[in-house]
Amino acid sequence: MGYNSPMRGFFNYPNPVNEVAARVIAGLTAILAAAAILFDLRWFAAFLLYEFVVRVAAGPTVSLTAQLATRVLVPMIGAPARPVPGPPKRFAQALGVLFTGTACFLWFGAAQATAAKVVLGMLGACALLEAALGFCVGCAIFMQLMRIGLIPESTCEACANWKARA
């Protein structure tokens, strides 16, 4: 892909991210995870895996829950946008891939529905924390990784300078 390729823009994660939209998406994630657990809907786990993969790869562009949140639910709420740095949110989405991928493997590949539901429960709890309280577990982990130097300096600069690009 060349520098001016249309796919280059497609695969960019937004920075900054609207915290209001992120919290609404987290709420939808918590609802889907709870439904998967309570009603034994393993396909919801697969849908969540899809959602996390596409959000990591392309931001909200092809995510159905992100589109619902940004185009319908957030405007209904009417809260002003609250920009926050994108890299920690992308990291949190990548952790969502890890959790939902593990749950899908357990449920579909290893026939371990109970273990899959435990993993989805952990994911749902983290999503609920973000939706209800604004506490992003993945973002907190990201910040700790920055402090100990495991996150590259260029990413730290992107977080520190996100307001300049907003």
Q: What pLDDT, in 10s, does the model give residues 26-45?
A: 999 999 999 999 999 999 99
Contact between 83 and 18 (Cβ < 8 Å): yes
| Single pTM value for the model | 0.89
Is residue 7 in some structural domain? Answer: no
Instruction: Tell me the residue range of the domain where 114 lies.
Output: 14-165
Q: Do residues 106 and 112 make contact, with C-beta atoms less than 8 angstroms apart? A: yes
In a domain, 3, yes or no: no
Residues of the chain with pLDDT under 70: 1-11, 156, 158-166
Residue 1 belongs to a domain: no
- The helix (H) or strand (E) run that includes residue 87 is helix 86-104
- pLDDT of 80-99, one tens digit each? 999 999 999 999 999 999 99
What are the C-alpha distances in Å from 128 to residues 35, 98, 135?
A: 13, 17, 9
